[in-house]
Amino acid sequence: MNPQLTEDGRLRHLLTLDGLPRAILMQILDTAESFMDVGEREVKKVPILRGKSIFNLFFEPSTRTRTTFEIAAKRLSADVVNLNIATSSQTKGEAILDTVDNLAAMHADMFIVRHSQSGAAHFIARHVAPHISVINAGDGRHAHPTQGLLDMFTIRRFKGEFHNLTVAIVGDVLHSRVARSQIHALTTLGVPEVRVIGPKTLLPTGVEQMGVRVFHDMEAGLAGCDVIIMLRLQNERMKGALLPSAQEYFKFFGLTPEKLALAKPDAIVMHPGPMNRGVEIDSEVADGPQSVILPQVTYGIAVRMAVMALLAGTGNA
Amino acid sequence: MPASLPDVDPLIVRLAGAIAPTITPDTVIVGIHTGGVWVAERLHAMLKCSLPLGTLDISFYRDDFSRIGLHPQVKPSNLPFDLEGRDILLVDDVLHSGRTVRAAMNELFDYGRPASIRLAVLVDRGGRELPIRPDFTGLELDVPAHQNVNLSRLDDGHLTLSLA
């Protein structure tokens, strides 16, 4: 049984996009669409989560993801508490549960969890009382489901459909929880061709079993693509010599205007941020007319509002 | 109770006739999803309003969210005009408890401060739980609490009322 779903198949936690049915992904995207205008109203709020307490539990620092969750929660009229907990003070799993129990005793309704260890959000979700929901805001190399969802929302906004697309994910797939969430969502939503492009050292072994085509040559991989998703080169996570140098990487796998020209003329360029300009992406592309990197950030708020509203509704039912 | 409910089209014509003298250049018509939008579309065409039709989905303003969760098919609200100083004609298909209208008014005020809001309903079925009354009514019924009055739209656009 999928621990994210209730017995009657509604979303109870959002931990990973792996195994979530297409109907739920579409429900989240449709709900997000109806939240799109809230940011443009005179009063940028709807009252749906009034009186709910949401805790941002960030065991790993992230300014932007935390901020968009915070804005999303506030636009739903929830009360938000941000806790940035240094991982060094969290040595054992038990300490995490102590933190969670204490916050639950303060009548928390929802936890948004970011942690450098894969499975942290699942661990908390298994522990909390039935009325509390957990959203995974990134766990280790495992999953970052709201990023995956906002990427799907962006693709649907610009391309309309999924069934006729060729989507390439380029770069450090090995260390990327974002890529894993994207691949699950793209295949569930019926994208017929998902490609991963990168050097052998940065693609996980057996990635083909996720239903993707593998390219080690960027020129070949980009040909005919509708959507290009660039991944951040995770410098801070790379231990050992997986790459000769950032310059070398840019030469082969950095997205330049010349390489972008190999994709379809109306291809869009996405990036989950923060970008390493001149490493995985050229500034001319990042700021160019085919870039939808800033819209991704805006859409991320509506998508996170949708997930929170759906989870809060399920928890109370 | 009547065995069958009357045709919808004459009811809308009557409603439009009652509303017509009150229309000003600042009047905007706003329908509440889903049935209210169907009625509002008809009224908007008949009353020759110059401003575009507005639509509201009140799912994010419902007072029963904490009991039943989010409506499975939320539609975006669309108010393609500035509400400030406007005379709003709020339209719904069936008026029952009044809770939908309360939620709609709360939502409207998050877009701006209208000069006035009036309420037009196709059917007032009774059973109010809030101090809300329509300004224009197509049909008044006294329906027992366990029954529902529903407006549905056929594929050809024809509107029909039913009792269930």
**A264 touches B: beta carbon within 8 Å:** no
Q: How many domains does chain B have?
A: 1
**pLDDT tens-digit readout, A196-231:** 999 998 999 999 999 999 999 999 999 999 999 999
Closest CA of chain B from A190, distance in Å: 22
Residue B148 belongs to a domain? yes
Q: How much is the pLDDT for B62?
A: 86
**Which residues in chain B are closer than 8 Å to A34, comparing Cβ atoms?**
57, 59-60, 74-77
Residue B1 belongs to a domain? no
Average pLDDT, chain A: 91
CB atoms B68 and A313 under 8 Å: yes
**A317 touches B: beta carbon within 8 Å:** yes
Q: How much is the pLDDT for A1?
A: 63
Residue B16 belongs to a domain? yes
**B72 touches A: beta carbon within 8 Å:** yes
Q: Which residue has the tokens 């509604």?
A: A10
Residue B3 belongs to a domain? no
Domain containing residue B55: 8-68+75-163
Q: Which of residues A181 and A39 earns the better pLDDT score? A: A181
Q: Which residue has the tokens 């939320």?
A: B74
Single pTM value for the model: 0.88
Of the pLDDT bands very low, low, confident and very high (cuts 50, 70, 90), residue B15 is: very high
What CA–CA distance (Å, rounded) separates A185 from A10? Answer: 17
Distance of CA B69 to the CA centre of its chain: 22
Distance of CA B110 to the CA centre of its chain: 18
| Tokens read off for A289 | 């007319």
Closest CA of chain A from B71, distance in Å: 9
On the question of pLDDT at B151 being above 90, the answer is: yes
Calculate the alpha carbon distances from A302 to A59, A275, B65, B161 in Å.
24, 22, 19, 36
Report, as an integer, the average pLDDT of A141-160: 96
Closest CA of chain A from B99, distance in Å: 15
Report, as an integer, the average pLDDT of A71-98: 81
Q: Which of A30-39, A185-194, A283-292, B12-21 has the lowest mean pLDDT?
A: A30-39
Of the pLDDT bands very low, low, confident and very high (cuts 50, 70, 90), residue A93 is: low
Residue positions counted in chain A? 317
Q: How much is the pLDDT for A317?
A: 39
**Which residues in chain A are closer than 8 Å to B86, comparing Cβ atoms?**
none
Of the pLDDT bands very low, low, confident and very high (cuts 50, 70, 90), residue A61 is: confident
On the question of pLDDT at A77 being above 50, the answer is: yes
Please report the domains of chain A, with CATH numbers, ordered by start residue.
22-143+299-316 (3.40.50.1370), 145-296 (3.40.50.1370)
CATH code where residue B113 lies:
3.40.50.2020
Q: Angle, nearest 10°, between helix axes A145-159 and A22-35? A: 70
Report the residue of chain B nearest A46, measured CA to CA: B60
Of the pLDDT bands very low, low, confident and very high (cuts 50, 70, 90), residue A236 is: low
What CA–CA distance (Å, rounded) separates B115 from B95? Answer: 23
